[in-house]
Amino acid sequence: NAGVTQTPKFRVLKTGQSMTLLCAQDMNHEYMYWYRQDPGMGLRLIHYSVGEGTTAKGEVPDGYNVSRLKKQNFLLGLESAAPSQTSVYFCASSSNSAGYTFGSGTRLTVV
């Protein structure tokens, strides 16, 4: 019962580099989300998806892009990383009648 799996768990990028974070869920959930968590703060929604092939902006979408080509996968891309994007990134999935299941997080440092 893997639930929600995020890869990688850790990454260090140089300013201007690009990368993609992968989120995979095996619960057949319709909805998927990407959040970022900064020290001492709650979680802020970056982008979300209501189903395969659809995405929408959250609270802090600038500098990120997402894709959901398959129902079970939700990708978060950083095209040109900036130090302000240093954070812990969490993916989550949910259904209509249940709350979120979170992945274990990706700790990203941009130097």
Chain residues binding another protein by CB under 8 A are 31, 33, 35, 41-45, 48, 50, 56, 58-59, 88, 90, 92, 98-102, 104-105
Cβ 60 to another protein shortest distance, Å: 12
Question: How far is Cα 45 from Cα 35, in angstroms, rounded to an integer?
Answer: 4
Comparing CB distances to another protein, the nearer of 63 and 105 is 105
CB count in 10 Å sphere of residue 25: 22
Beta strands (DSSP E) in 26-82 are: 31-37, 43-51, 54-57, 65-67, 73-78
Comparing CB distances to another protein, the nearer of 38 and 79 is 38
Cβ 64 to another protein shortest distance, Å: 16
* Structural element, H or E, at residue 61: none
Comparing CB distances to another protein, the nearer of 46 and 78 is 46
